């Protein structure tokens, strides 16, 4: 049920470039893993709500008061490329 | 010959310091000597700083004996490498974070520092905590101190091996699907996964945010209780950390189980469990029964569905959390990209290892349009059934018992070619994470010369009962006192 088209689509969604070997490997492995997980289909889940989180907490609020935070140079200290207080990335918008 | 200071538990070090029979400098030296003697064979650490260890020990040298010294004054502690340490490398076992030095400490690290701990270094782990053997580390596997041809478990294998071998007195790990309990069992030490929300996750490199929890490794239950007391509690920086009082766990250990109702999980002692493991667990149940606990079988009928549910939910959350590793803010960036998309995709190709890529693929697939309902949503509904199983069991029992893993430590390389075989090591630990309840691994015997762990599972925020049951077993047996041959030989 997992074919090359799905592998390519998912890799693109996940922003993950695959080598030809990885593409082949993941097609086979995802197929067999998901096949194994099909055992969940045996359960009747009608009217069973989803659990996304085990704690009964929602919207934890605090007073909106400024707190000391990282200095800009510390926050940028690990960036592969930074300039004038910004991270640098390749062009996002094509020039005319 | 008395045991080396490297093999003493933290509470004993404290007592020795008080009597001035030992000092932090001596304990730190003993741990560093052990580390230097064994590290080339075990590879528990990715980073350590001997000078910093000596400097931290010196800070407590003249104060650790005082009555008002903080609880871990002068105690050497190791940290899993997915826990942020200001100025120290933090890679989570991944090439993509090679060279990353966080500008801040995780909350648990700040709490350890305040408690007087001597931070030794960063321990090896499966990349981004994804794995059950530490073989997925980009920096080479850790070896099990009990048998160097075997895995230490994972993903917190370095922390478990360090504590087992005397390369640290205590260690922290993280547990998303068993990553503290399984390596603790494989290495013959105590490992505790607290209730979800008990310990702040601020500064823990996120894997699956609804499941991740930090917890301690220790050589005995008292030490695990002491360490939990130090790291637990509400933290404004983690909105999921619970506003629930932290009891003085170490002072409340009574070892009394008389009248406690303990449920033996039937599904965990099925035919899939190794005979030696099942025998050691049954023996532990007999011991607790002998101490007055009422032990009866209980069923968690949906437990067999926990593994697939977990391996859909956790990769789904991971695929989202790992989106941040794209060569922009920190870590590796590919040298070969002229546009943004290629920079992201190629950076990730170069920086991530095979298991992380596999889980990103699996998680992205489970969340993608057309498959979301069939996989992700279905898994979250199964999660509800698993929670209800635990709620029903805890209506009748004070705690649940079973093995931590179906086998003892397996051989290096034995499961690396087959992801599903590797995932099966987590079959008894993942239900606990899905339900968010606390679980401990406590040594309960040996099978074929390798340690076996008993898993004690408790009600939410009832770590006290879990620790107390483990303590009762520990006092009635002496499995926790056994040291791996490699550590005994190093002295």
Please, is A92 exposed, middle or buried when counting C-beta atoms within 10 Å of its C-beta (0-12, 13-18, 19+)? exposed
Contact B326/A at CB under 8 A: yes
Q: Which of B94, B100, B361, B363 to mutate to test the interface with A (most CBs of A within 10 A)?
A: B361
B96-100 — which CB contacts under 8 Å span 24+ positions?
B96/B325, B96/B331, B96/B332, B96/B347, B96/B348, B96/B350, B96/B351, B96/B352, B97/B205, B97/B325, B97/B330, B97/B331, B97/B332, B97/B351, B98/B138, B98/B331, B98/B332, B99/A78, B99/B331, B100/A78, B100/B330, B100/B331
> What ranges make up the beta strands (E) of B208-347?
214-218, 261-265, 294-298
**Residue contact B239–A70, C-beta within 8 A:** no
pLDDT for the residue numbered B2: 62
Any idea what DSSP says for residue B204? Answer: B
Q: What pLDDT, on the 0 to 100 scale, is given for residue A53?
A: 86
Of these residues, B4, B133, B155, B156, which one is catalytic?
A: B155
- Indicate if the pLDDT at residue B3 is higher than 90: no
Say whether pLDDT at A95 is over 80: no
**B154-186 confidence digits (pLDDT tens):** 999 999 999 999 999 999 999 999 999 999 999
A81–B305 CB contact, under 8 Å:
no
Q: Among residues B179, B241, B319, B441, which one is catalytic?
A: B179
- Beta strands at B214-218 and B190-193: parallel, antiparallel or unpaired: antiparallel
pLDDT beyond 80 at A96: no
A48–B323 C-beta distance less than 8 A:
no
Q: How many other C-beta atoms can be found within 10 angstroms of the C-beta atom of residue B247?
A: 16
The CB density around residue A36, as the number of other CB atoms within 10 Å, is: 14
- Which candidate in B4, B23, B80, B159 is catalytic? B80
**Average pLDDT estimate for B21-42:** 98
Q: Which two tokens stand for residue B174?
A: 């993280």
Residue numbers in B near A51 (CB within 8 A): 380-381, 383-384, 387, 434
Contact B27, B152 (CB under 8 A): no
Q: Given B311, B333, B341, which is nearest A37 (Cβ)? A: B311
B80 is catalytic: yes
- B1 pLDDT higher than 60: no
Q: Which residue has the higher pLDDT, B147 or A95?
A: B147
- In a mutagenesis test of the B interface, which of A16, A38, A46, A74 is the best target, namely the one with the most B β-carbons within 10 Å? A16
Q: Does B344 touch chain A (CB under 8 A)?
A: yes
Average pLDDT, chain B: 97
Picking from B103, B379, B435, the nearest residue to A54 by CB comes out as B435
Domain boundaries, chain B: 5-260+441-452+475-489
Whether residue A80 and residue B101 make contact (CB cut-off 8 A), yes or no, is no
Q: Is B155 annotated as catalytic? A: yes
Q: Check if B193 is active-site.
A: no
Chain B residues within an 8 Å CB radius of A10:
361, 364-365, 368
**Is the CATH number 3.90.1300.10 carried by domain B5-260+441-452+475-489?**
yes
* Cα-based angle B22, B23, B28 (whole degrees, multiple of 5): 110
| Contacting residues for B334 by C-beta, under 8 A, at least 6 apart | B327, B342, B343, B346, B347, B349, B350
Among B residues 414-453, those touching chain A with beta carbons less than 8 Å apart: 419-420, 434-436
What's CA B126's distance to the chain center, in Å? 12
CB-CB under 8 Å, A9 with B326: no
Contact B332 A39 (CB under 8 A): no
State whether residue B151 sits within 8 Å of chain A by CB: no
CB contact under 8 A, A50 and B338: no
Q: Which is nearest to B419 in space by CA: B374, B359, B353?
A: B359
Min Cα separation A63/chain B (Å): 11
pLDDT at A55: 84
Count how many residues are written for chain A.
96
List pLDDT tens digits, range B297-352.
Answer: 999 999 999 999 999 999 999 999 999 999 999 999 999 999 999 999 999 999 99
* Option in A9, A45, A78 nearest B329 (CB): A78
Q: A4-41 — its CATH code?
A: 1.10.20.60
pLDDT at B488 > cutoff 90: no
Shortest distance, CA A10 to any CA of chain B (angstroms):
6
B382 band by pLDDT with thresholds 50, 70 and 90: very high
Among A88-92, B53-57, B99-103, whose mean pLDDT is lowest? A88-92
pLDDT category, B448, cuts 50, 70, 90?
A: very high
Question: Is residue B427 classed as helix, strand or coil in its secondary structure?
Answer: coil
State residue A38's pLDDT score.
92
Share of chain B above pLDDT 90, in %: 98
B60, B73 Cβ separation under 8 angstroms: yes
Which pLDDT does position B32 carry in this prediction?
A: 98
The mean pLDDT value for B81-108 works out to 97
Max mean pLDDT range (A57-61, B212-216, B483-487): B212-216
List the 98-117 stretch of B: residues with Cβ below 8 A of A: 99-104
Buried b (16+ CB within 10 A) or exposed e, B408-434: bbbebebbbeebeebbbbbbbbbbbbb
pTM of the predicted model over 0.90:
yes
The per-residue pLDDT for A1 is 77
How far apart are alpha carbons B488 and B3 in whole angstroms?
A: 9
Contact B103 A30 (CB under 8 A): no
């Amino acid at each position: 049920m997992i074919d090359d088209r799905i592998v390519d689509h998912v890799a693109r969604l996940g922003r993950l470039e695959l080598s030809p070997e990885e593409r082949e490997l993941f097609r086979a492995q995802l197929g067999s893993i998901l096949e194994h997980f099909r055992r969940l289909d045996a359960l009747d889940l009608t009217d069973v709500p989803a659990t996304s989180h085990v704690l009964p907490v929602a919207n934890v609020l605090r007073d909106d008061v400024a707190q000391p935070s990282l200095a800009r140079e510390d926050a940028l200290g690990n960036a592969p490329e930074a300039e004038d207080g910004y991270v640098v990335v390749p062009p996002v918008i094509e020039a005319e | 010959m008395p045991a080396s200071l490297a093999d003493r538990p933290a509470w004993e070090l404290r007592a020795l310091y008080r009597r001035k029979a030992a000092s932090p400098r001596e304990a730190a030296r003993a741990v560093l000597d052990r580390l230097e003697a064994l590290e080339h064979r075990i590879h528990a650490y990715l980073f350590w700083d001997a000078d910093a260890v000596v400097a931290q020990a010196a800070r407590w040298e003249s104060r650790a004996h005082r009555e008002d010294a903080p609880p871990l004054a002068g105690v050497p502690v190791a940290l899993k490498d997915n826990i942020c340490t200001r100025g120290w490398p933090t890679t989570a076992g991944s090439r993509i974070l090679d060279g990353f030095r966080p500008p801040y400490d995780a909350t648990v690290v700040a709490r350890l520092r305040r408690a007087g701990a001597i931070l030794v270094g960063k321990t090896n782990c499966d990349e981004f905590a994804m794995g059950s053997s530490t073989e997925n580390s980009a920096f080479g596997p850790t070896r099990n101190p009990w048998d160097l041809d075997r895995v230490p478990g994972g993903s917190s294998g370095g922390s478990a091996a360090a504590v087992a071998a005397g390369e640290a007195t205590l260690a922290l790990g993280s547990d998303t699907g068993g990553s503290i309990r399984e390596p603790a069992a494989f290495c013959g030490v105590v490992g505790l996964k607290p209730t979800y929300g008990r310990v702040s996750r601020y500064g823990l490199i996120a894997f699956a945010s609804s499941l991740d929890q930090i917890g301690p490794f220790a050589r005995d239950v008292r030490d695990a209780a002491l360490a939990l007391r130090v790291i637990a509690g509400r933290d404004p920086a983690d909105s999921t950390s619970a506003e629930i009082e932290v009891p003085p766990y170490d002072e409340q250990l009574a070892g009394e189980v008389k009248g406690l109702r303990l449920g033996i999980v039937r599904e965990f002692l099925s035919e899939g469990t190794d005979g030696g493991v099942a025998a050691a667990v049954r023996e532990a149940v007999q011991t607790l029964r002998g101490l007055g606990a009422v032990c009866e079988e209980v069923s968690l009928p949906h437990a067999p569905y926990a593994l697939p549910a977990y391996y859909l939910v956790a990769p789904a959350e991971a695929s989202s959390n790992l989106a941040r590793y794209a060569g922009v803010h920190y870590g590796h960036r590919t040298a070969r990209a002229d546009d943004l998309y290629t920079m992201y995709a190629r950076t990730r190709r170069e920086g991530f290892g095979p298991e992380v890529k596999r889980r990103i693929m699996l998680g992205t697939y489970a969340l993608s349009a057309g498959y979301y309902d069939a996989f992700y949503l279905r898994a979250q509904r199964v999660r509800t059934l698993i929670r209800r199983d635990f709620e029903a069991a805890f209506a009748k029992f004070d705690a649940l018992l079973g093995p931590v893993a179906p086998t003892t430590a397996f051989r290096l390389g034995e499961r690396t070619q087959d992801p599903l075989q590797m995932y099966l090591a987590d079959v008894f630990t993942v239900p606990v994470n899905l339900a968010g309840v606390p679980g401990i691994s406590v040594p309960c015997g040996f099978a074929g010369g390798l340690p076996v762990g008993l898993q004690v599972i408790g009600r939410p925020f009832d770590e006290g009962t879990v620790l107390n049951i483990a303590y009762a077993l520990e006092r009635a047996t002496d499995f926790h006192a056994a040291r791996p041959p490699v550590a005994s030989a190093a002295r």
